[in-house]
């Protein structure tokens, strides 16, 4: 038995070591210091390409084989400072947070200007996993007219092209620019006939682009779920609704939402089967902070007590709530919980 266990352990270690070696790609520079990658790029006036990946991602492994090809290696060497970013590492996620980048799927291609301005953020799908299409994606990303950052600028100048607006909205979502995303998505939805709300493009907009639930396309999805589940995977439909509500709820402006809007969001979650207690848990902090912001201290405290009901508040949660409450009460007040 010990011999068998040792053999299995050896096989597993060999597999993971081999896997790790596969992700070490000669087409990319060694990533020693994330803070300094733009210093050299700026000096050489070359944009920076980063492939964000996970070591456990099978699509990433498949892309890694393509990215090793000599044509890609030569192209990257001439046109970019290219790096791979392992998202299983804390420093990688700190880098993304610092640059306000959200990676929804791996692998994803991020392209920066030599000075560190984000030009493009693109998920790399199976259909583009070939030399020709990878180079085409990167050429577009550094094109001053076609890259996503330029499409946002074109939108601001009044250009209204559907595919360009969808790409610009996707960019603002991954760049965590909620305000601009809502502006672009509302413009997109305004030009979509209600008869087209249930087609592939409209569903894709909700699924991949939208950051705010307050628009007629989202309302239609919630109110006609059965129509969507005939054409799309049921889980994908439910996730699209849940993700849109939760992204909107965690928007920094959510404490300004009306009670009516909160209830509408709760109803959407309830419709896809989220239990009442889970819904209450997701909303309690935002609702309490809304009351405190509006100087409705008694209402905020009442909401906290109602949330727990007759159940004793766990110690750590009570400490958190008391610390929060006392910020809004007169000095030397005691915690009312």
Q: How confident is the model over 56-85, as a mean pLDDT?
A: 94
Q: What is the overall mean pLDDT for the chain?
A: 91
Q: How confident is the model at residue 25 (pLDDT cuts 50, 70, 90)?
A: confident
Domains of the chain: 22-143 (3.40.30.10), 196-326 (no CATH)
- Above 70 in pLDDT, residue 21? no
Split at pLDDT 50, 70, 90, the class of 16 is: very low
pTM of the model: 0.81
In tens, the pLDDT along 302-323 reads 999 999 998 999 999 999 999 9
DSSP H helical segments within the chain, as ranges? 2-23, 37-44, 58-67, 70-79, 90-98, 131-142, 148-156, 162-174, 178-190, 200-204, 216-223, 225-231, 234-249, 259-271, 276-293, 297-308, 315-326
* Burial state string for 202-217 with b = 16 or more CB within 10 A and e = fewer than 16: bbebbbbbbbbbebeb
């Amino acid at each position: 038995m010990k011999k068998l266990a040792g053999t299995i352990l050896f096989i597993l270690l060999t597999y993971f070591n081999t896997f790790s070696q596969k992700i070490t790609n000669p087409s990319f520079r060694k990533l020693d210091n994330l803070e300094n990658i733009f210093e050299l790029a700026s000096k050489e006036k070359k944009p920076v390409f980063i492939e964000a990946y996970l070591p456990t991602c099978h699509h990433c492994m498949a892309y890694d084989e393509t990215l090793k090809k000599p044509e890609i290696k030569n192209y990257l060497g001439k046109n970019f400072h290219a790096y791979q970013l392992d998202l299983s590492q804390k420093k990688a996620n700190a880098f993304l947070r610092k640059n306000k980048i959200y990676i929804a799927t791996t692998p994803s291609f991020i392209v920066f200007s030599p000075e560190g301005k984000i030009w493009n953020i693109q998920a790399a799908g199976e259909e583009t996993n070939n030399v020709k299409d990878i180079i085409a994606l990167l050429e577009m990303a550094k094109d001053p007219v076609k890259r996503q950052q330029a499409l946002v600028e074109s939108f601001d100048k009044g250009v209204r092209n559907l595919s360009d607006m969808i790409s610009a909205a996707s960019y603002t979502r991954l760049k965590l620019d909620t305000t601009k995303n809502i502006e672009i998505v509302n413009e997109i939805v305004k030009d979509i006939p209600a008869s087209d709300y249930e087609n592939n493009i409209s569903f894709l907009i909700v699924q991949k682009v939208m950051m705010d639930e307050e628009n007629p396309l989202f309302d239609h999805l919630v109110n006609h779920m059965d129509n969507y589940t005939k054409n799309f995977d049921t889980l994908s439909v439910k996730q699209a609704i849940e993700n849109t509500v939760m992204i909107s709820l965690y928007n920094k402006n959510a404490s300004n939402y009306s009670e009516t809007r909160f209830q509408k969001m709760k109803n959407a979650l309830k419709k896809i089967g989220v239990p009442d207690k889970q819904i209450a848990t997701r909303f309690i902090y935002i609702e309490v902070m809304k009351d405190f912001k509006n100087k409705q201290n008694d209402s905020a405290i009442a909401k906290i007590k109602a949330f727990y009901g007759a159940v004793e508040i766990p110690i750590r949660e009570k400490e958190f709530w008391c610390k929060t409450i006392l910020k809004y009460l007169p000095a030397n007040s005691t915690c009312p919980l």
